[in-house]
Amino acid sequence: MSLTPLDRKYGRVISGIWTTVLGRTARTWTGLGSYRDADITRFQKTALPILLAGQRNIASLTATYLEQLYKDISDERSRVNLDFDKVTGRALRDVDPEEVYARPFHDVWYALSQGEPLDVATERGGNRLEILAKTDLQLTRTHTVREVADEQPGVEYTIRELQGEYNCALCLIASTQRYHKKDLAPIHPGCDCLVKTVKADYDPGQVIDEEKLDAIHNAVEAALGTFDRGGRAVDYRKIIVSHDHGEIGPVLGYRGQRFTGPDDVNLPT
């Protein structure tokens, strides 16, 4: 499949929200001046409303987009009363946002404890903040897709469409697959792939674009000297796999990655 005018319009609007939310939260972070315990609450009072508003905007636009998409693919109207509490805030990770968005400060403190200068430490915290925010914005989208698709009986599964000039190999592989609508599409931190619902009279199987998948496997062989066109053998799954992250659900990554727990100093997302 390829992007339609509706897809592109929706993608541009969502991209604009990402830019606004990330820009405002980044400016809030750099404008703190100090990064002590007391600054966490000060930061959250400004940043969390920005983040939540962005998530709600994305949820609302995604629901509207999926309703129009459903009309286009089934010639039926589908009006969904979206419960924002299920697709924003705590619902994204089952962790309070206050806890999540205190993590950049812990990154700063850890870097300082290792002898890093303040500017380097705060930059690391800012990078962590960006990853957290991007991940939550995308989680809002995938959660909304699941909620809306559940009320659209004609939808059987979802697919991922690539956006932008650059895409990682993990997303390229994922874009050749179909996902049952009850499942969240795997993501990686910062993933911005478009998730589309599909109406079908039959299940095409897991792989929906053999030609693209073959091209990716050829590229993997050229880079690493090994490949498996079926993508199912144990050796090949060491290259590209889908993990289950305790907070944010399925996450694309490489075999050998380990997701840390609450006792670890640096959480991955």
What are 100-145's pLDDT values in tens digits? 999 999 999 999 999 999 999 999 999 999 999 999 999 999 999 9
pLDDT range class, residue 16, cuts 50, 70, 90:
very high
Strands 241-245 and 155-161, by their bridges, are unpaired
Q: Is the pLDDT of residue 99 over 60?
A: yes
Position with higher pLDDT, 76 vs 225: 76
Share of the chain above pLDDT 70, in %: 83
Angle between helices 37-74 and 118-150 (to 10 degrees): 30
Q: What's residue 135's pLDDT?
A: 93
Tens digit of each residue's pLDDT (9 = 90 or more) over 191-214: 788 888 888 777 788 888 888 888
pLDDT range class, residue 217, cuts 50, 70, 90:
confident
Contact indicator for 233, 202 with CB cutoff of 8 Å: no
Q: What's residue 268's pLDDT?
A: 39
Kindly report the pTM of this predicted structure. 0.83
SS3 99: helix
Tens digit of each residue's pLDDT (9 = 90 or more) over 242-254: 677 888 887 777 6
Sign of the CA dihedral with 246 first, then 170, 19, and 106 last: positive
Q: What's residue 74's pLDDT?
A: 78
